[in-house]
Chains A and B, each alone.
Chain A
Amino acid sequence: MAVLNVNGKSLQANADPRTPLLWVLRDTLGLTGTKYGCGIAQCGACTVHIDGVATRSCQVPLNSVGGKKIITVEGLAENGKLNKIQQAWLDLDVPQCGYCQSGMIMAATALLAAKPQPSDSDIDAAMTNICRCGTYKQVREAIHAAAKA
């Protein structure tokens, strides 16, 4: 039984210690906002923050995250108030199907924390998530909008 710190709560997770954090979040803890896309750290749909760093949770075994601070997309809003990135996403109507957007939002939130005024090339470097609907143009606009907010 592992004890995880997820979204500020201490949660018990009964799973094989080698299980990727992605599947612990989704199947064991019921936090399905973090998505499975590829399982090989290519697509970024499973991005969460581990001690503030945007991390692809499909590659992180459960036994490596004890004591670390994990934030998922469910933990970004505070008392129902969306964070700056989420709000910009809402204002600019960014998502289409939305499946990749949890990962996009986690990556963008970490980017703004590290670089409050990112350039287009900063955005290109940080936002390597795959979106098949093709929201890239709106994602870029929303990151710039959030940086100004």
Chain B
Amino acid sequence: MQTRELVAALAAVVPAQRILFEEQDIAPYECDGLTMYKTKPQVVVLPETREEVCHVLRTCKDLVVPVVARGAGTGLSGGALPHAEGVLLVMTKFNRILDVDADARTARVEPGVRNLAISEAVSHLNLYYAPDPSSQIACSIGGNIAENSGGVHCLKYGLTVHNVLSLTVALDDGSIITVGSDALDSAGYDLLALTIGSEGLLAVVLEITVRLLPKPEEMRVVMAAFDDVTKAGDSVGGIIAAGIIPAGLEMMDGPAVAAVEDFVKAGYPLDAEALLLCEVDGTREEVAEELSRVESILKDSGATMLRVATTEEDRLLFWKGRKSAFPAVGRISPDYYCMDGTIPRKHLSLVLRRMREMSERYGLRCANVFHAGDGNLHPLILFDANDPDEVKRAEEFGAEILELSVEVGGTITGEHGVGIEKINEMCVQFSSDELTQFHSIKAAFDPTGILNPGKAVPTLQRCAEFGKMHIHHGRMPHPELERF
């Protein structure tokens, strides 16, 4: 398809100034938060109305042109990586909060609204939107739907799928449907759950109704240092065995603590092998009761240092350290590669030990940030993108971590999505029959395959090739992609 023809067809409904195709205009869209992969789209469209979105979809279906929807572009798996022969549908102009129902505790929002903006808009009602990915200041709720994003509070408050009541979406043919409702369940199959986390392969989100929660009366966080990661891991099991579900339960290893403390000065002890942040929330009485139990469990587990944030400033500072872990690591290394495996928590020390071995073998440093409550690991592999060999080693190191996650009974992605990044590892986690089932589901929604093709679910051919490479040439994913 010639760019000129495609642009002309799109311009029948979308105003020309919101269709970009000149090199300098489309360059800012060549990647999302996973900057290792870059592709320039053929055309970028910035729709402002539903009619424009539906026109783009109908046009692209007619012309069999790929459509990749993009929110704020903060995704870490390359889910919004453009297609070189496709349209990048940038949803940022859908940025209105349409309605807040204080009595029902719901908000109707457009997909380009930032995650944190929802909580800010309802704060005066003493409400908030619970899922809080670390990128919440920038990431869009539409992107959260695509990835089923989590955050540091999801052990207690759930993922995106647990906090969304309904979605209005545009299908591949430009028709619009609503899945879910304001009721707590819906008739027919649970298309809402199916759509959430489908990485833009099934539909384009136009509107979202989210559930809001009353702000807890009180939140207290305790910081505990350990001289051994196993002890820290055991303390997490101890807290849960005691019947306590903390609002947040986060762990960092020594290298992550050092990077963060240098950056944020959160008062983290630099000699710790592992640092745990445990937050409890609820009514004043509940918090006081749970906090004292958590403190005694942490002491019994061998914490070398224990500090409870006594002021709200302290509490926010403790969290700021954790939430700044990625940029902090970014300061000590030219580049970092963030992984996202989830493991059964009992295997934590085994997995950390194996990762240290890998770190030595690949000659790359690794800092670990860990949603300890739910087993979601974020190893950050430090490398230099200007060194092609380091890039290759970083990717191989990452792939080996994901395969280890599957080996111990976990998954290759807890909250960042498969995107383009983990597509080969999908061949490790799922059988051919399971992948084929995914493709059938995709075809049920999008028989032409125009929505975000090549992401999330690998073709069987790709797995076969990956398997061969796996054996004969080590692990070099995506040989067809251009490298730096």
Partners in one complex: no
B residues with CB within 8 A of A: none
